[in-house]
Amino acid sequence: MKKNVLIFVLIAPLMAIILSVAKAYYYYDVWQYEGAEVVFQVLPGEGFSSINHRLDRAGLIGSTKVFYRYCQMKNLMTKFKAGHYQIPTSSTMHNIIDLLLFGRPITLELTIPEWKNFYEIAAILETHGFISKAQDFIKLARDPDMLQQLDIPNETVEGYLYPDTYKFDPHQSPAQIMRAMVEVFRQKTKSLDYGKSSLTKAQVLIMASVVEKETGARAERARIAGVFLNRLKKKMRLQSDPTTIYGIWDRYKGNLRKEDLQETTPYNTYRINGLPKGPICNPGLDAIRAVLTPEQHDYLYFVSQNDGTHTFSKTYSDHRQAVEHWQINSKNRDGKSWRQMKQN
């Protein structure tokens, strides 16, 4: 009897160790996540305990204790990289640890539409979780040091944030995102020929931003560019609503009032001669090309037809008739601008 007890006392710890090792092996290399493929996010600066418990809550690991012990033993508790990771079905704990250590975080697509200004782009980035605060991006867009680094000779980055579909790491900094967008602008525009334009390169970008804001109809861009260039040649003010709106952006509520048109700002082209101080949005390549190769005509005016297109006129009297027909006549005012149609 005593001999059996002694054997049990000697064997029991060994059996416990064997069972513990078997359990650890099972949860580390046998147990599998059986759910659908899922994205797991490691937050910047997130502690190991939080990662461990969130993996457990998501059903991605079978044992928080085994995960803890293994990572502690291998000195991995501070080695996981921030980012979004695609966790496939049938992943083991071993697979997941390797992914968080050596895997490449996935990038997420984000489309920046044409005609957006940097305030709107900041809001888009915040809404989609690419930056925590839109104000950080806005502040950076005005930062003299950042503008110098980007070789932008303006007071803001406006005009240089190229509208495109991007693949961003969700944890890229606002500066990294801004640099990426400016770099795409450089690449997209490097082959353009500015030599035949009567405008400087900077003026082309300003004019393109106005054209971009005035119409979303691709076929009209070169024609509208021609209208503005004709007005400049005749020393006429551009009288563009979008430029005026940009000058009061911080307090614009959606309706352009008479007093807004009468307020002198560097962007109110009802009050100033020539082009506005700088770009009013970030134009795409089509708008820039439209300014470089404008349609040759004698039009000096245009008015919305409330369907995304415009009526063009050569004389002020013809323009007044078009305004009467399309804007003052209530029957014809039903409709939407091209911006409203694109937003719906």
DSSP calls for 127-172: HTTSSS-HHHHHHHHT-HHHHHHTT--SSS-TT-S--SEEEE-TT-
What is the share, in percent, of the chain residues with pLDDT greater than 70?
Answer: 89
Contacts of 264 (CB under 8 A, 6+ apart): 271, 272
* Residue 4: band (very low, low, confident or very high) from pLDDT cuts 50, 70, 90: low
The average pLDDT across 228-250 equals 96
pLDDT score for 344: 39
Among the residue ranges 20-34, 60-74, 87-101, the one predicted with the least confidence is: 20-34
Beta bridge partners of 39: 86
Contacts of 69 (CB under 8 A, 6+ apart): 24
Domains 11-102 and 108-189 share a fold: yes
CATH code matching the domain that covers 108-189, chosen among 3.40.50, 3.30.1490, 2.60.40, 1.10.286: 3.30.1490
Residue 113 · residue 121 · CB < 8 Å: no
pLDDT score for 21: 66
Report residue 105 CA to chain centroid gap. Answer: 19
Say whether pLDDT at 192 is over 80. yes
Question: Which class for 242: exposed (0-12), middle (13-18), buried (19 or more C-beta within 10 A)?
Answer: buried
Decide yes or no: CATH 3.40.30.10 for domain 11-102. no
pLDDT score for 335: 57
Number of C-beta neighbours around residue 3 at 10 A: 7
Global pTM reads 0.76
Say whether pLDDT at 279 is over 60. yes
* Residue 25: band (very low, low, confident or very high) from pLDDT cuts 50, 70, 90: confident
Angle, vertex CA 155, rays to CA 149 and CA 159, nearest 5: 85
* Phi (first) and psi of residue 334, to 5 degrees: -65, 130
Question: Which class for 84: exposed (0-12), middle (13-18), buried (19 or more C-beta within 10 A)?
Answer: middle
pLDDT score for 341: 45
Say whether pLDDT at 8 is over 70. no
Say whether pLDDT at 195 is over 70. yes
Among the residue ranges 12-16, 37-41, 46-50, the one predicted with the least confidence is: 12-16
pLDDT score for 10: 57
pLDDT score for 73: 92
The average pLDDT across 283-292 equals 97
Say whether pLDDT at 85 is over 80. yes
pLDDT score for 343: 46
Looking at per-residue confidence, does 252 or 344 come out higher?
Answer: 252
Among the residue ranges 4-8, 24-28, 60-64, the one predicted with the least confidence is: 4-8
Residue 215 · residue 240 · CB < 8 Å: no
Say whether pLDDT at 19 is over 80. no
The average pLDDT across 86-113 equals 92
Say whether pLDDT at 287 is over 60. yes
Tell me the average pLDDT of the chain: 90
Which tokens sit at 81? 């990289």
Instruction: Please write the tens of the pLDDT for every residue from 135-179.
Output: 999 999 999 999 999 999 999 999 999 999 998 876 689 999 999
pLDDT score for 307: 87
Say whether pLDDT at 297 is over 60. yes
Say whether pLDDT at 78 is over 80. yes
Beta bridge partners of 83: 42
Element housing 301 (H / E) = strand 301-304
pLDDT score for 2: 53
- Please choose, from the candidates 29, 23, 71, the residue with its C-alpha nearest in 3D space to the C-alpha of residue 48: 71
Instruction: Please write the tens of the pLDDT for every residue from 314-344.
Output: 999 999 999 999 988 766 666 555 455 444 3
Parse the chain into domains and list their residue ranges: 11-102, 108-189
The average pLDDT across 183-207 equals 96
